A and B are shown apart, each in its own frame.
Chain A
Amino acid sequence: KAGVTQTPRYLIKTRGQQVTLSCSPISGHRSVSWYQQTPGQGLQFLFEYFSETQRNKGNFPGRFSGRQFSNSRSEMNVSTLELGDSALYLCASSLGDSPLHFGNGTRLTVT
């Protein structure tokens, strides 16, 4: 079974631009979560989607948004990029109460 796929693997953007990251969950998994990883901060929860509905949201500004499609694929969008948004963005999917299965992440660099 294919794992969680995130595209692209690397992105370089300029301050003020916007970016869209994509995540394809494991087949059959309907829950998709997004996390931001920065040095010293661990994995910070962004939001979680299930059946196209956002069920949970972390403490990030409104510049961070997401959505989920009917096939469970998810996208995350960050508008008006800031230097501090440079991070590894991780997507995870799960089946019911099973542990999260993570993709390899998208490394975003904002210059």
Chain B
Amino acid sequence: DQQVKQNSPSLRVQEGRISILNCDYTNSMFDYFLWYKKYPAEGPTFLISISSIKDKNEDGRFTVFLNKSAKHLSLHIVPSQPGDSAVYFCAATTTSGTYKYIFGTGTRLKVLA
């Protein structure tokens, strides 16, 4: 049972435009969500997170939006840069002590110069 889903395996965006990566979850107990970026031959690196008490969190070019009623979150990258080309994973967990992060299957973003 895939509790965290990223339905788009890949995404191609022109440099300077907005990249929107989507993630859906099924477990209503999740209350903390994260995005990670992964380059080939490297481990995932933390990008941005959001708590369920918020609906938006922004950090520079990266903004994460959370729609709890739809159990949906998205990552917006504006403007997109070629260096953003990577695989992006969303992850979810509960902060009530499970210490277990559930990851999606990833979306490969290609930013075209």
* Residues on A facing B (Cβ under 8 Å): 4, 6, 31, 33, 35, 40-45, 48, 50, 55-56, 58, 90, 92, 97, 99-105
Chain B residue at minimum C-beta to C-beta distance from A44: B103
With A41-B105, A42-B103 as contacts: A102 and B43 at CB distance below 8 Å: yes
Q: A31-B99, A42-B89, A90-B44 are in contact. List 14 more A-B contacts (CB 8 A).
A: A4-B43, A41-B105, A45-B100, A50-B99, A56-B99, A56-B100, A58-B100, A92-B43, A97-B95, A99-B49, A100-B91, A101-B46, A102-B36, A105-B43
Contact partners of B9 in chain A: CB under 8 A = 40
Q: Is the interface of B mostly helix, strand, loop or mixed?
A: loop
Q: Is the CB of A43 within 8 A of B43?
A: no
* Residues on B facing A (Cβ under 8 Å): 4, 6, 9, 32, 34, 36, 41-46, 49, 89, 91, 95, 98-106
Contact partners of B46 in chain A: CB under 8 A = 99-101
Contact partners of B98 in chain A: CB under 8 A = 56
> B74 → chain A, closest Cβ, in Å?
17
Chain B residue at minimum C-beta to C-beta distance from A41: B105
Q: Is the CB of B45 within 8 A of A102?
A: yes
